[in-house]
Structure 1
Amino acid sequence: MNPEAPRSIRPGAIPYLCPRIYIIMDIKQNILETIGNTPLIKLNKITKQLPGTILAKVDYFNPGNSIKDRMALKMVEVAEKEGKLKPGGTIIECTSGNTGMGLALAACVKGYKCIFTTTDKQSKEKMDILKAVGAEVIVCPTNVEPDDPRSYYSVARRLAAEIPNSFHCNQYDNLANRLAHYETTGPEIWEQTGGKITHLVCTAGTGGTVTGTAMYLKEKNPNIKIWAIDVYGSLLTKYFNTGEIDMNEVHPYISEGFGEDFVPGNYDMSVIDHFEQVTDKDGAVMARRLAKEEGLFCGYSAGSCLQGLLQLGSQLTKDDVVVCIFHDHGSRYVAKIYNDQWMMERGFLDVKTFRDIVNGRSVKQKLVTIQPAGTVSDAVELMKKYDIEHIPVMNGNGIIGAISESGLFNKVFSNPDIKTATIESVMEQPFPVVDFNTPLEKLRSLINKDNGAVLGKDDAGNYHIVTKYDVIQALGS
């Protein structure tokens, strides 16, 4: 039967028309087609004291989890068009990790090899991810001059000169970097804000993101303010303010992904209105706040970007629409800014620790211990004398057990003559021994109904004790 032929209809019957249903499939041909069109998300808690509307351009939604996917693909496409990158070739680049990831994705799809140089300050996660997508990674020292043959810049240049059919992307001076943001990031922000954006806030590293995005936005509205966020230890801020390249400004910093010890060719300082510097600590702490308070698990530069905005917040008005660019994902910093121990070792995390509890005691008392050959009566007398409930048991080899008031109380009911028993015969398991910098939250998890205290050894090798009452008092202070 011909489905298009009209059917005869019984007189008086109502015809039933069944329209054709068209199903349109939205299928990406490869991972590169998912780059861009990332969301603009309103910040609600951290910035509530600021006037205006504060928005985050969250570019960790790119497939490589960073904004660098945009420029990495563009650099490859331009190199192919110009004949600098040929089939079967090798992509070489010095990268803090994110550009490398974008290039590696392009290489996977297009059939290239990748060799990346990076610095020893970058997180291990970044290096492991690059290796996972097939790249070779060479780690170079951080604290050397850019033109030092050991620097990751110099090593990349040398490899490009030595390896046949290779292409050194050079994201710092390759203008395809800023072109990517002129063509994609800027237009997306303009459209997503309906042209109402008044301020762009962006960390400054290679210069591609801040310059390319700013160039587009300034063409649309020259009154839009562009605030570049830098880190102390970088020379970019002084160069912007004075035009002087002052190497005395350069010193090691911990922040990743932005700040420079030279001025990359991607910069056009005429489209930037202000540079603001942020400390390593403030950027790291703010990144953690973004995760906890806004649900945005971002990298180091996002925290620094928002911190920079807060430092400049007095310049905003209620009608302003501010866009902060959040470059990458927090998964690349799990062992660093999202690791309490790493943060505490650098003085970035203001949390109470075992050390704080011990140092905060008004009365300094040497740890009361008892020998295994002592008696329960001896332990009870010590508890009364010093008003304590927990006593570590020590011999010449160190801590071997523990005596607690609650434990003795239970044993008295089963054996009234226990007062003459030796400590060794009734002692409990030793109290856990922790690092002196162990956070209060960790101590709280170690102290329970079966274990009423923890021990820690100070820098001089002396033991100290923290009990559940110490923890309760510290939590309430």
Structure 2
Amino acid sequence: MDYHQNILSTIGNTPMVQLHKVVAEVPALVLMKVETFNPGHSIKDRMALKMVLDAEARGDLRPGGTIIECTSGNTGMGLAITAAVKGYKCIFTTTDKQSKEKMDLLRAIGAEVIVCPTNVESDDPRSYYSVASRLSKEIPNSYWCNQYDNLSNRQAHYESTGPEIWRQTDGKITHMITGVGTGGTISGTGRYLKEQNPEVKIWGIDTYGSVLKKFHETRQFDEKEIYPYITEGIGEDIIPKNIDFDIIDHLEKVSDKDGALMARRLAREEGIMLGYSAGSALAGLLQLKDQLTADDIVVVVIHDHGSRYVGKIYNDDWMRERGFLDTELRVKDIIARKQDTSFYTVQKEDTVRQAFDLMKSHDISQVPVVHNEAIVGSISENVVLNFLLENPLRNAERPVADIMVEALPIVDEYLPFSQLRNYISKQIPAVLARDKAGVYHIITQYDIIQTV
């Protein structure tokens, strides 16, 4: 039989997948190390397990103990999974900029989550670093993993991620690119790859509002570089001990907007739904594409799954509020501008006269036809009128089913205004849209003209 004794042995050995559409402008072969195949759907599972195993070996973590960590969510998930298998308690501190999905997932695996303010100095007693440190001193038999300065973090990637990439590329990798936060991934993986071939280029992705790029280039900590940013999982306002800046050949900054938009492109064009920092990594690669040739093989190492961001970068309203999406009107905006949002229907068995009376009394020109609560067709004012004029007495009592045509198309309420032209025509005078509450609305040519 082929099985694992527990979930922890499934960590690592993640697949490598070639990218196509989103990197069409890049001359090199681009491969992605898809770390979402780890049980916690994040690369952080690797270092979380390593930190716990090393702590046990040193005697820092004993049976019945409590694991404490400051985390943006992914390290916490890896630690929570490890704790569940090994029988430890978990307390995690995080910042209020992290997605609700991450916090809910941590609680679902039994962790206690303490939310701390983002926009405070790292040494502020309210910061998630300081709170984690304080709790580790107050709680007996507890261990603060401190992923930023715990070198087991980068060692995990030296022992697993690096060798896997080298093997999967048959030693032909020329560039590795990944987001930089704690620095464990880029430093551990990068060190292994450079030991195999010193010519391998290691590129890191930073974000605006972080000190890492400036420090890498000058070795000076410039507080003026620090300001709030939205991107999760990369960038720092401190210098973690895990970052080996000598390993990194270049750090590239990517904006919050570009990272978010690229993550959405990855989902829609490659079918790979990934986190915010994965979008940043790909956006950074495109910014650096002119430094690559057709002979290069680039490996993009990503961090986590897109399910942690469904309320953020994969939510159109959230994106639009931050100016990340264009301001073009959507179907929902047309609905909001309608003076009358009533939705009228006729039953398939209703008579043509009943349908005509409904249209006349409410001054409407198109009506969906319903059968057993499902929309099965449609009728228009012109069709009904012509049918009645042919033989007013006989045709008036005929069922609507005799004259109905195909149901009107149903479009997403977030469909851009300009794309309505793909649906509405002389043959199709209107479309239907259903809002989040499940309520149907009809969008007619008249509604569109009124919007313009």
Q: Find 1:83's aligned residue among 51, 59, 79.
A: 59
Of 32, 39, 45 in structure 2, the residue corresponding to residue 69 of structure 1 is 45
> What's the CA shift for 1:349?
1.7
Which residue does the alignment assign to 2:363?
403
Give the C-alpha shift of residue 333 in structure 1.
Answer: 0.6
Matches within 5 A, 1:318-337: 318-337=294-313
Measure how far apart 1:403 and its partner are.
Answer: 3.4
Whether the aligned pair in 1 keeps the contact of 2:430 and 2:444 (CA below 8 Å) is no
Contact 2:158 2:188 in 1 (8 A): yes
Query: Could you tell me how far apart the structure 2 residues matched to 1:353 and 1:169 are?
Result: 48
**1:74 & 1:175 partners in 2: Cα distance?**
10
**Does 2:147 match 1:174?**
no
CA distance, structure 2, for counterparts of residue 42 and residue 368 of structure 1? 47
Q: Relative to structure 1, is the Cα distance of residues 438 and 220 closer, same or farther in structure 2, using a 3 angstrom cutoff?
A: closer
**Partner of residue 278, structure 1:** 254
Offset at residue 440 of structure 1 (A):
2.9
After superposition, the Cα gap between the structure-2 partners of 1:453 and 1:90, relative to the gap in structure 1 and judged at 3 Å, is: closer
2:227 aligned residue (251, 259, 277): 251
Structure 1 Cα separation of the partners of residues 250 and 449 of structure 2: 47
Within 2, Cα distance between the matches of 1:324 and 1:466?
44
Q: Do the aligned partners of 1:351 and 1:440 also contact (CA within 8 Å) in 2?
A: no
| CA distance in structure 2 between the partners assigned to 1:296 and 1:42 by the alignment | 11
Counterpart amino acid of residue 295 in structure 1:
G
Return the alpha-carbon distance in structure 1 between the equivalents of residues 16 and 338 of structure 2: 59
Please name the residue that 1:468 is paired with: 445
Per the TM alignment, residue 467 of structure 1 is displaced from its structure 2 partner at its CA by: 4.5
1:383-421 per-residue CA deviation (whole Å, 9 max, x = no partner) reads: xxxxxxxxxxxxxxxxxx96335687768969x9xxxxx
Deviation at 1:443, TM superposition (A): 10
Question: Contact between 2:332 and 2:414, CA under 8 Å: does it hold in 1?
Answer: no
**TM-score for both structures, normalised by structure 2:** 0.78
CA–CA separation in structure 2 for the residues paired with 1:70 and 1:368: 53
**Aligned match for 1:118, one of 94, 106, 113:** 94
Instruction: Flag the 1:51–1:114 CA change in 2: closer, same or farther, 3 A.
Output: same
Tell me the secondary structure at the aligned position of residue 363 of structure 2: strand
What CA distance in whole angstroms lies between the structure 1 residues aligned with 2:84 and 2:56? 15
Instruction: Return the match for 1:210 from 172, 186, 189.
Output: 186
The AA in structure 2 aligned to 1:233 is G
Alignment correspondent of 2:371: none
Question: Is the 1:53–1:322 Cα contact (8 Å) retained in structure 2?
Answer: yes
Q: Which residue of structure 2 lines up, in the alignment, with residue 309 of structure 1?
A: 285
In the alignment, residue 288 of structure 1 is paired with which amino acid? Answer: R
Q: Which of 234, 240, 264 in structure 2 is aligned with 1:288?
A: 264
User: Deviations along 1:58-91, whole A, 9 cap, x unmatched?
Assistant: 0000000000000000000000001100000000
Of 25, 28, 32, the match for 2:8: 32
Question: Structure 1 residues 468, 343: closer, same or farther in 2, change over 3 A?
Answer: farther
Deviation at 1:369, TM superposition (A): 7.8
Amino acid at match of 1:172: Y
- State the alpha-carbon separation in 2 of the partners of residues 200 and 153 from structure 1: 29
Paired residue total: 385
Q: TM-score, normalized by length of structure 1? A: 0.74
1:151 aligns with 2:111: no
Q: Kindly tell me: are residues 408 and 155 of structure 1, through their superposed partners in 2, closer, same or farther at Cα, counting changes over 3 Å? A: same
The aligned runs of 1:185-196 (5 Å cut-off) are 185-196=161-172
Question: Which of 113, 120, 125 in structure 2 is aligned with 1:137?
Answer: 113
Q: Which one-letter code corresponds to 1:404 in the other structure?
A: I
Contact kept, 8 Å, 1:117 with 1:137, in 2: the verdict is yes
The amino acid across from 1:36 in the alignment is G
Matching residue within 176, 182, 201 for 1:225: 201
Instruction: Give 2:354's aligned residue.
Output: none
Residue 388 (structure 1) aligns with: none
1:243: Cα distance to partner?
1.1
Pair 149,442 (structure 1): closer, same or farther in 2 beyond 3 Å: farther
Q: Check whether the contact 2:68–2:142 (CA below 8 A) recurs between aligned residues.
A: yes
2:110 maps to amino acid: G
Q: 1:234 to 1:452 in 2, by over 3 A?
A: same
The alpha-carbon deviation at position 47 of structure 1 amounts to 1.1
SS in structure 1 of the partner of residue 21 of structure 2: coil
**Structure 1 alignment gaps of length 5 or more:** 1-24, 359-366, 371-400, 417-436, 455-464
Q: Which amino acid aligns with 1:65?
A: H
Note if 1:349 corresponds to 2:325. yes
Question: Secondary structure, in 3 states, of the residue corresponding to 2:252?
Answer: strand
Runs of 4+ in 1 over 3 A off after TM superposition: 354-358, 367-370, 401-414, 441-454, 465-474
The whole-number CA distance in structure 1 between the counterparts of 2:141 and 2:282 is: 42
- Please say if residues 203 and 229 of structure 1, whose CA atoms lie closer than 8 Å, have aligned partners that are also in contact: yes
SS at match of 1:298: coil
Report the CA distance shift for 1:207/1:453 in structure 2 as closer, same or farther (over 3 A): closer
Q: What's the offset of the Cα at 1:49?
A: 2.2
Per-residue CA distance 1:420-455 (angstroms, 9 max, x = gap): xxxxxxxxxxxxxxxxx965379969999897799x
Cα RMSD, aligned residues only: 3.4
Deviation at 1:355, TM superposition (A): 9.9
Closer, same or farther: CA 408–47 of 1 in aligned 2, 3 Å: closer
Judged with a 3 Å threshold, the aligned counterparts in structure 2 of structure 1 residues 281 and 469 are, in CA distance, closer, same or farther, namely: farther
Percent of residue pairs bearing the same amino acid type: 62
